[in-house]
Structure 1
Amino acid sequence: MKRFFLALTALFCMLLLVTACGKEKTKYHAVSFDSNGAEEYQSRAVADNELLVEPRVPTRAGYSFLGWYNGEDKWDFDTDRVTDSITLSAKWARIKFIVKFDSDGGSSVEEQSVSSGDFATEPTVPTKENKKFVGWFDGENKWDFATKRVIDFVTLKARWEDYPTYTVSFDSNGGTSVATQYRVEGSMADAPQNPTKTNSKFLGWYHGDVKWDFTANVITSDVILVAKWEDIPTFTVTFDSNGASPVAPQYVAVGEMAKEPAKPDRAQLGELLGWFNGDTRWDFSTPITEDITLVAKWKNIYKVTFRDGNVSHSISVEEGETVPKQADPAAKENLRFTGWYLGDTEWNFNSDIPTSDITLDAKWEQISVTYTVTFDSNGGENVAPQYVAGGGLATDPGVPPRENYRFDGWFLDGKLWDFNTTKVTKSITLVAKWIQTVTVTFVTDSGTAPKNFVFDINSIIPKPIDPTKEGYVFRGWCLSDGTPWDFTAPLTQNATLTAKWLKAYTVTFDSDGGSGVSPIILGEGELIPEPDEPYKSSRFRFKHWYISGTDTAWDFETMTVTSDIVLKAKWQPWLPPVSP
């Protein structure tokens, strides 16, 4: 800190010396830098109201640089100007590192975000089947969460060692299979769900001649447990589904009851009347005392479908019954319903009886009639009416002429009429729909004839490609009164748009040894857009642009172009500040 004040005092003395010796007195300010723990920076002398050249970015282990600050405000080296002696302080943020945990097949452990130099938090010990957790390792080194600080991104990997494991196998001895278990030494096997075996009673699991106790016996080696069974005398109950899907037989112990099976599937929908032993319906609460065969007895139910074109509905009719008469289908214009038919034969609802699933179709007769189709041209030329047979198609009469309108079609009740598909079922009047149009004429005044374009009224007209004219610049399309046309506004009436031209002049920039500035072409009477200041060297400062061959400075806010012109850069010698 003492060195800092000595350097600052020397800097002020030099500033006083430079100020006293120069012809023009320039005010300078001292700018010092506090890097807050990074490398030291030399102070600078900066002319009043000048920009400060940004120093190199400092570095600090474990920290991220946020910028130079004047008090609470971040210094903007592109816009902030030095108006007083200041100290800029470096602002830092501690870097956070991600600590990841690779469980190596064990239960997952969430990663941690840890500030540089802090300790990671030791996570809950993960688990892995038949494995013992040893610890977290960084390479070959075990990580000590109490002493090891995080200074970089790191992935810690779990290390495991094996427990001794034994196999517990289950021999079901002809019963349903049971899954093998794997247990570590000193633990107990889980009692599995009891297996099943036809006509047998399960007595338990045995190791040799001793019944295994799953609540007391511990595993000390591989072991095979064998199921023990006791035979049960049974009778066979066979089911004859009588044409339906097969039903599995049942094996029932003496004195027990058979279970009524689910209704078997049958190709034709039918009602199951029951399972019969001879002529007697079987009561499933009756004990079984011998082998027996039960036969399914059915009553057929037939499906009768009534179809009228794409519309249909169905009913069910029991075997041997007549079909209930249905209501006539909905009336159709110019058609008369004559009955329900099976093929070409009318169905008699009083005597006909179905013997299978059937479909009855509605039959109709045509009633001859002619309708008038009238055309309302709605302002266009008259169109003759047409006379169309009921159910027939009218003929498209074409477009009736009408000036300043575009034809949009023939409509009935607001809906466009399709002459190719829509049938005439009554007398109708079709009304012509029109959309008013307007004409836009583009006059380029460049040797090309005016062009006319027709648009729908209130539409937005597309902006054409800008025209060109030798020696002129194009400045838009205007109405006859000079009003510029807005191509985003709707078109409400006929319009003539004329190209606006300004005589073209070239503005050339002579940087007088400085960096180049591109010439531009403008129209007569237009302001010149002020270009970016050129750069010559650190010994010169750009002052302004002036008209070449004169001493007149160019005012970009008021002076306009009236001819080709060359603007030349005016430079002022500049004495840079002297470093201490």
Structure 2
Amino acid sequence: MQRDQFAWILNTSNGAEENSGVWTRGTDGYPTFANEDSLAIRKVVFDDDGTTSNRYTNYKGLVTFPENPEPAEGYVFSGWYNSDDIKVKPTTVFTADQTVNAVYVDASDVFWTINFYNAAPADTVLESKSYQHGSIVAYGGVAPTLAPTAKYTYTFKGWNVEPTNAVEDFDYHAVYDSTIRSYTVTFNNADGSKIESATFEYGKMPSCSKTPTRVATAEWTYSHKGWKPALDYVTEAATYTAIYDSSKVKYKVTFMNGTTVIDEQMVPYGNPAVAPINVTREGYKFVGWNTSFATVTEALTVKALFEELIIRTVNVVDVDGDKIVNTTIEDGEKFTLPEAPKKEGYTFDAYYDGDKKLGVAGDEISVTADITITAKYIENPKSSSSQQEIATSSSSSRNDKSSSSSSRINSSSSAKTEAIVATVVPKFSVMVNGRSLQISAARIGAAYALFDMQGKVLLQGRVRTANFEIPVMRAGSYLLKIESTTQRVSVR
């Protein structure tokens, strides 16, 4: 049988014996052996002045109480009491078979404790008062309040049970209506000025209804990027400041050739514009621009500047007037002197404009007028020595007499023969001092050249002072020519 009573019958042989405490009712409903977790089934008799109700415990030792009996007028049911006059309750654990009796008391002698508690914390007593049985319960303390949280404010609504007549000890608990809180959120611009303020409920994501803007400068433009700190769900009053991305202002630079636009550029502030190339105008020379665009800070119109184009003729000839180069060039431009043609028996000296030396091949000159340039040369020295030896022989013979300016030597003559050497005296003098030739008495402006003995030009130039030095690199014999005079020198 799946009833607590059946386990009790097994324990007492259906009431014929004292309860053995062996059997209980298992969780599956069938009798099983009792233990410390499953207590033996007991019988509890509720006796109300002879009216009884038999109840049986469950495996936890608890019993289901009958409804409280109706007391006689002027009395109050006090409760069920065991043989030791101890009041039992639905929470009492019964460990033996027993009878409990209903007890009544005079209503005028019964007082009940009525407690009023706040909602939080739950053990906060707002008022505790003793009421005579049957009297009306009424709260007489201060108005209940509940501290707000970040999310809610609270308004007292009443009690969890509407107070009525006192018929037992009773606890009332305050009940509140909650209202979600709102907070002020302020949005400021980057300069600290307020864009707007608005209220938002707790937990909502705030937003600014106006698009933040920042005034551009000559150098920068700004676009709204977000907020600092980043927007977050509302939990309190907050202030946010707008932040911006910045970018350089670009200015239009227009390049003009007369009335013609030759280029347009959008240039970031502070950067240079790039000048167009090959700016031309027929009959004129481009000389630059009317204004600087190296650092652009505003819109610019840049105009090309020109001057009248002047063409110069450059005619390069040799000493005989034969053409070497004939060309035209813009006034003021550079002209590179060409290679001079070779001329047999001569060494190229330099290019001249009249008597003015311009330079040698590869040098550049500025041309500011029509010009004829002449290549000049220096005659190479002869391969024989410039020292001229004049030998004159004279012999005396008793029978012969000189008949001409040339003297012949009689081989059969026993007379003594004499040789006379005559040297052409140069117009300048030269002395050897170590590895240096010291020249004196040379004509200023005269052309000079130093040759080795094979006729190769080692050094050439014009005499600038009457006395000067020419360094030589190594020992040996050299030929020094100044104007038409050549002198042989030896350096040791």
Same fold by TM-score greater than 0.5: no
Return the TM-score normalized by structure 1. 0.25
